[in-house]
Chain A
Amino acid sequence: MRFLLFSSFLILSSCAIQQVERNEGHSCGIKMIFPWDQTMIFHTDLSVMDWDLSGIMILQKEANDKYRFLLTADAGPTLIDMTFSMQGYKRNYIFKKLDRNLLLSLFYEDVSVLIGIHILENKGFTLPDFKGCCYPFNKKKMVCYYSDESLTAQSGATLYDMSKATVTVNYFYDANNLLDSISVIHYNFNMHYKLYPIY
C-alpha cells in the first residue's frame, strides 16, 4: 500500500531502448536502461538552492565496479570530480565553493540511482501494487525502478527514505526511442537538473 500511488499505471514492460541486466538472480527481472559499461556525456542545466549552472556531466565506468563522476562548467573549468562505488564516494577534485558534504552526497545518490550501482550485489524485490522492482539502498533506503512505454517519462526510478520519496529520476525518449533527456528532482532539497545526452 505504500506505493499505491504507482499502482494504477505502472506496468513493467521491456522497452526497445538500451537495456542491461544487472543482476540475473533477482526475482522481478527489471532491466536497467543505463548503459553502465560506457562513458556517458551529458549537457546539464542544474539548479541547486539559488545557484544555476549549465555544464557538462560525464559518467565513466572504471575498474572494480567504480564509476567516475565529473561536472564541468560550459566554457569553463572542472568543478566536481569524484569516484563512486557501492561503499561511497571519494573526492578527486572539488571546487572549494562546492565542497559541501550534503551536495556531494546528493550527487552520489543521484548517480547511484541512475547507474544502479546498488543493484550489483543486492537482490531485487517486488512490492504489492507496484509492478516495478525495488532494491535496498544503503541501510535505510530503497530504490524502485519502473518502466512503461505508455507514460511520457517511459521509465524512471525513485529513491525512498523510510517510505518517503527523496529523489525521482525520469527518463524521456524521442519518437525513435532514443534517450532524449533525464530529469532529476529532489523533494527534500532545492535541487533539480536535466541531463541531455551528447555522446
Chain B
Amino acid sequence: MSRFLILSVISLPLLLQGQPAYTPMKDETLFREQYIESAGQINTLKASFVQQKSISLLKAKLISTGEYHFKRDGMVRMEYTKPYAYLFILNEDMVYIRSGEKEMHVPTGSSRLFSQISRITLGAINGNILTMKDFSMEVLEDDNRYLLRLDPLNRDMKMLFRQFQVYISKKDLQVERIEMLESSGDTTSINFSGQQVNILLNDALFTVQ
C-alpha cells in the first residue's frame, strides 16, 4: 500500500449529488473564438497531473502522478513519477518511451494508442481539438467550466473508447481535466494543476534520439 495511493470508493449517491449539471451551449461561436484565441497564445505549458483509473475489478482507484510539458507546435512530454516511472515524449512524428529497463524510439504510427491520447491532450491545449475530424463533438457548460464531449468516429478508437470529456475552466480557458470513458466500462481521468504558461522550456525535454 505504501507505494500506491488508493482512494476509497465514493458511493454512487454521493457522486451523483456532487455532480454538476452541464447543459448544451446555445451558441458555441463565442466560446470557440475565445478558446482558439487563448490557446493560440500558449507557446509552452508545464503542469502537474494526477491520473485516476477506475477499474470495475477494483474497489479502489489506481492513482499515479507526474508532470506534463507542452511546447508549440507538436511537442509533448508526459512523465509519470509515482508509483512507477514512465516517460512518453511526442515530438512531431516521433515517439520516445522509457519504461523500466526499456527504451523505444518509434514513429507515432507504431505507438498509436498513447499517441492518440496525447493528440487529444495536445489538441485541448493548442485548440486543435475543436477541428478534429475523427470525433463528433458536443459543447456543454455549467457556471465554472466548459465541457467538450468527444465521441470517436474511427472504428479502432471506438473499440477502446466510448467518449472523451475535456473540462476547461471558464476563468482562464485552461484544461483542468480529461476523462476517457472506455468501451469496457472502465474510466481514466487526468487532472491537471499548477499550470505555468509560456515559461522557458528547454528543447532537450522533448528530445527523441
Contacts and interface: CB of A to CB of B under 8 A. Distances in A.
A70 B55 contact: yes
Interface string A28-43: 0000000000010101
A75 B188 contact: yes
Interface string A60-84: 1000000010101111111001000
Given A196-B84, A199-B3, A77 B186 contact: yes
A72 B51 CA distance: 14
B76 to A, nearest CB: 12
Contacts of A198: 3-4, 83-84
Contacts of A78: 55, 182, 184, 186
A9 to B, nearest CB: 25
A73 B102 CA distance: 15
Contacts of B100: 43, 45, 54, 194, 196
Nearest to B111: A52
B188 A68 contact: no
A-side binding surface: helix, strand, loop or mixed? strand
Given A39-B58, A72-B53, A75-B78, A199 B4 contact: yes
Interface size, B (range): 35 or more
A93 interface: yes
Interface residues on A, range: 20 to 34
Interface in B179-198: 180, 182-184, 186, 188, 190
A75 B104 CA distance: 17
Given A52-B104, A72-B186, A77-B184, A199 B1 contact: yes
A58 interface: yes
A114 B58 CA distance: 20
B114 A73 contact: yes
B84 A77 contact: no
Given A68-B57, A76-B113, A54 B3 contact: no
A77 B162 CA distance: 11
Given A41-B4, A45-B101, A76-B180, A58 B57 contact: yes
3 residue pairs, one from A and one from B, having the closest CB atoms: A54-B99, A43-B84, A78-B184
